[in-house]
Structure 1
Amino acid sequence: MTEKRHIHSEYDQELDTLRGLLLEMGGLVERQLADGLEALITRDAELGDRVCTADYRINSLEVRIDEEATMIIARRQPTGSDLRLLMAAIRTGTDLERIGDEAEKLGRFAVEFAAGNTPEPSLLQGMERLGDTVRQVLRESLDAFARSDVAAATAVLDGTDRVGGHYDAVMRELITYMMEDPRTMQRALHALWCARALERISDHARNVCESVVYVEEGRNIRHRPAGAGPDATEEAPEP
């Protein structure tokens, strides 16, 4: 009996360690996004360079999380919610790594903007509003994951218009900007790619919320219809 308790304690510690790695990774990507946005808006080349070079820490954590989760599955052969947690840990690690990649793009474009290839300040204001909203979505998603809070995760998933509205506004501004002066096309395209990177960060943050629902309730809500709530199911297309 003592040996079983010891094994159970070791197993719990392994799961706690894995959760800790995911939370550490979440903190890093949140910082990476904040720094990338600041570098972009202020055209800070030095900060942009730091964002680009810091990405290796996020990549290393993803590899470690993948290895730790795979090892636990192989050694412990978990079932039920524990198995879902381990599968979600691998998936979430991938989403967080991709958020880091998108934030790195912001750092690279910040260097470009600092060199003079920058759009009009009014366009960067729209980008700042989009970025602030995406940061909020990421923060709420990570908080829901840390607390295993299905209600909070569902609230994020239901708030589909928060990022989409700002993204559409930036796109309209950029298209108008390019049509009025084709010479600005390269600068506007750089801004467009930044906006697209921010939208993708929001998508990956929402994936984290889907993983919370999967772990806690065993429901796989990926690939549901656009705009549908997390309780919706995807209908098969008519023949």
Structure 2
Amino acid sequence: MTEKHLSSQFETDLTDISTEVLLMGGLVEAQVQSAIRALETFDIAIADDVIAAEQRVNRQEIEIDAHCSYIIARRQPTARDLRLLMAISKTITNLERVGDEAYKIAKRAKRIIGQVSHSTIDFSEVRVSAALAVEMLHKALDAFARLDASEAAMIGRKDPALDEEFRGFVRKLMRYMMEDPKLISVSLDYLFIAKAIERIGDHATNIAEFTIYIVKGTDVRHITQEALEQEAQKQ
């Protein structure tokens, strides 16, 4: 078998596993959107669908990780190819955790629906946070698909806005609970949902950082946003 043929097969392997990651990403993105929709519409059936799909996300993580290990053992990649496979392993872990957060949101949505007949709390901040988190996740996956370090670096800029929405909602919940103790239980469920959304934003940021690692070969975790953007722009 010629070296060119081997190289072609390896490229196919990398393309296939990258596609698997994007399919998994699309699933968890849809899971988050559905979980929020269940909360907005008080639709238990939608929440149940999200809960039922969690095992599918878990299987995808296991299958992609096994595929990743197989390619490393079979092809013995180096340099950027090895970084890609290492980053994929970490990316799918973050995607699985996003799936976990969607599962938690759906479970809490069911609890809220079971406690009250309609939304007794204004959760506009949660809607805004969810839209931001989903946008961050979508852009992180798009940056991964195109191996675009510059786009990946921009994703972290939205994190402060996500954090601010969370803090604003916590302050609102405190007022609800102080004014009406009967709302304490449902308020705590909303708090867990808001925290889950914040974590989704964190996982999206992690995925973006792995893309920069693939392209630039630099670990950009735990550095400032400014330093991260500078690293992504380096030639």
Length-normalised TM-score, structure 2? 0.92
Which residues of structure 1 form unaligned runs of 5+? Answer: 234-239
Residues 1:219 and 2:218 aligned together: yes
Whole-angstrom distance in 2 between the partners of 1:155 and 1:231: 7
Q: Would you say 1:56 and 2:61 are equivalent positions?
A: no
8 A contact 1:119–1:188 mirrored in 2: no
Match of 2:228 in 1: 230
What is the number of equivalent residue pairs in this alignment? 231
- Asked if structure 1 preserves the Cα contact closer than 8 Å seen for 2:132 and 2:158, the reply is no
CA contact (8 A) 1:30 1:135 kept: yes
Which amino acid in 2 is paired with 1:230?
A: L
Residue 38 of structure 1: aligned partner: 37
Describe the shift of the 1:120–1:229 C-alpha distance in structure 2 as closer, same or farther (beyond 3 A): farther
- Normalized per residue, the structure richer in helix is 2
Q: Secondary structure at the match of 1:54?
A: helix
Give distance in 2, aligned partners of 1:16 and 1:96.
19
Alignment correspondent of 2:177? 178
Q: Deviations over 1:167-203 (max 9, x none)?
A: 1111111111112222211111000000000000110
TM-score by structure 1 length?
Answer: 0.91
TM-superposed CA distance for 1:43, in Å, is 1.4
Q: Quote the Cα distance in structure 2 between the aligned partners of 1:163 and 1:231.
A: 19
Q: Work out the CA distance in 1 between the residues paired with 2:199 and 2:227.
A: 19
Distance 1:98 1:81, change over 3 A: same
Q: Partner of 1:187 in structure 2? A: 186
Q: Contact between 2:28 and 2:98, CA under 8 Å: does it hold in 1?
A: yes
Cα distance in 1 for partners of 2:121, 2:227 equals 34
* Mapping for residues 45-194 of structure 1, pairs under 5 Å: 45-117=44-116, 120-194=119-193
C-alpha distance in structure 2 between counterparts of 1:198 and 1:182, whole Å: 25
List, as ranges, runs of 4+ consecutive aligned residues in structure 1 with deviation greater than 3 Å. 117-122
Distance 2:97 2:113 in 1: 25
2:199 is equivalent to residue 200 of structure 1: yes
Retained in 1: the 8 A contact 2:42–2:118? no
Provide the alpha-carbon RMSD of the alignment: 1.8
Structure 1: distance between partners of 2:150 and 2:117 = 41
Report the Cα offset of residue 94 of structure 1: 0.2
State whether residues 49 and 107 of structure 1, in contact with CA within 8 Å, keep that contact through their aligned partners in structure 2.
Answer: yes
1:126 CA displacement: 2.2
Q: Deviations over 1:27-54 (max 9, x none)?
A: 1011101101100121110100000001
Between the aligned partners of 1:118 and 1:73, the Cα distance in structure 2 is 53
Distance in 1 of aligned mates of 2:201 and 2:157: 13
Q: For 1:119-163, what per-residue CA distance to the aligned partner results, in whole angstroms no more than 9, with x for missing partners?
A: 854432221121111111111111111111111111112333221
